[in-house]
Amino acid sequence: MRSYSLIAPAKINLYLEIIGDRPDGYHELAMILQSIDLADQIEVRSLSTDNIRVHCHHPQVPTDKSNLAYRAAELMATQFPDAFSNYGGVEITIKKQIPVAAGLAGGSTNAAAVLVGIDLLWHLGLTQSELEELGATLGSDVPFCIAGGTAIATGRGEQLAPLPNLAPIHLVLAKYRSLEVSTPWAYKTYRQQFGSTYIRDSDNLAARASAVHSGAIVKAILNQDAAEISQKLHNDLERVVLPAYPQVLQLRELFATQPGVLGTMMSGSGPTVFAIAQSLQLAEAIKLNVRQAIPDEDLELFVTRTTTHGIQIVPI
């Protein structure tokens, strides 16, 4: 049976600004998203039946319809019934490296890989834009995970404008395995605490959303200035997550004190915290120092770097 194996990179937020409420109930956002080398591997294989099956060794990853990868396959079957009838169902195997419930778009990038894999399996010939449009119906991060690289994201995060690829920047990521932060809770709590500052006029929302295009961090990205990027990191959700989750705050504060750290921030709604390091050697040293300071086996630490791509096919 035919199959494809795909690399599905995680992402971090270099910038996350909450602008206001949208008519659809979501928040209007201005973000800068960045792909990283930490990645899952997804195998998509044709089945002779009309079933969709998901396998994953990770105990926290569901294999039923609640898995976004399953829903991606289901979406393709609904959107392309003739191809589904002709080629049959799919078996999806997820080799998990991205930590679960980490604010790193692990579920979204798995779904993105399934969309790309089924497009290849069924010979659909979809463009990247068409795949991104499908992905947006599954979740706000899915379109970016397909494209990858460095991008400005506006709307609820699905409207993308690519930025020049960054030269590799070394990162250290930290996440408590058992700790989860609900994304809906984070945004709801932010609305409760800071909703009075929201822009209400829809025209002003659009104006504010476009303001990030001339922001200081975008200039730093254009200049390939890792030190300046590190100084301009920003995440509005830290205002509600850090006070409520002292372990996340502790990680952020510990990273900030490490030699060789250019900047540190929580990614997305957390609870992963990342640090930008001056070099790979210093990143490894930072990881070791944090492990010695917090010898808790529940704490996962990763050394990785930025990457320029989204979903990629593994050469056979």
The beta-strand segments (E) located in 131-203 are: 150-154, 159-162, 170-176
Domain boundaries, position 87 = 3-164+308-314
| CB distance 107 to 135 below 8 Å | no
Please report how the helices 68-79 and 128-136 are oriented relative to each other, as an axis angle in degrees rounded to 10.
120
Same-domain status, 151 and 7: yes
Same-domain status, 154 and 37: yes
The answer to whether the annotation marks 149 as part of a ligand binding site is: no
Same-domain status, 260 and 280: yes
| Model pTM score | 0.93
Predicted confidence (pLDDT) per residue in 116-138, tens digit:
999 999 999 999 999 999 999 99
The beta-strand segments (E) located in 212-310 are: 234-235, 261-266, 273-277, 299-305
Kindly state the average pLDDT of the residues 88-104: 95
In the set 40, 119, 141, 236, the catalytic residue is 141
Annotated catalytic residue 141: yes
The Cα 19–Cα 11 span in angstroms is 21
* DSSP 3-state of 198: coil
The Cα 9–Cα 16 span in angstroms is 19
| CB distance 43 to 120 below 8 Å | no
The answer to whether the annotation marks 109 as part of a ligand binding site is: yes
The answer to whether the annotation marks 147 as part of a ligand binding site is: no
Annotated catalytic residue 11: yes
Predicted confidence (pLDDT) per residue in 136-189, tens digit:
999 999 999 999 999 999 888 888 999 999 999 999 999 999 999 999 999 999
The Cα 149–Cα 165 span in angstroms is 6
Same-domain status, 273 and 159: no
Residue 24 pLDDT greater than 60, yes or no: yes
Same-domain status, 176 and 156: no
The answer to whether the annotation marks 157 as part of a ligand binding site is: no
Count up the domains in the chain and report the number. 2
The Cα 179–Cα 269 span in angstroms is 12
Residue 311 pLDDT greater than 80, yes or no: yes
Kindly state the average pLDDT of the residues 99-111: 95
CATH of the domain at 243: 3.30.70.890
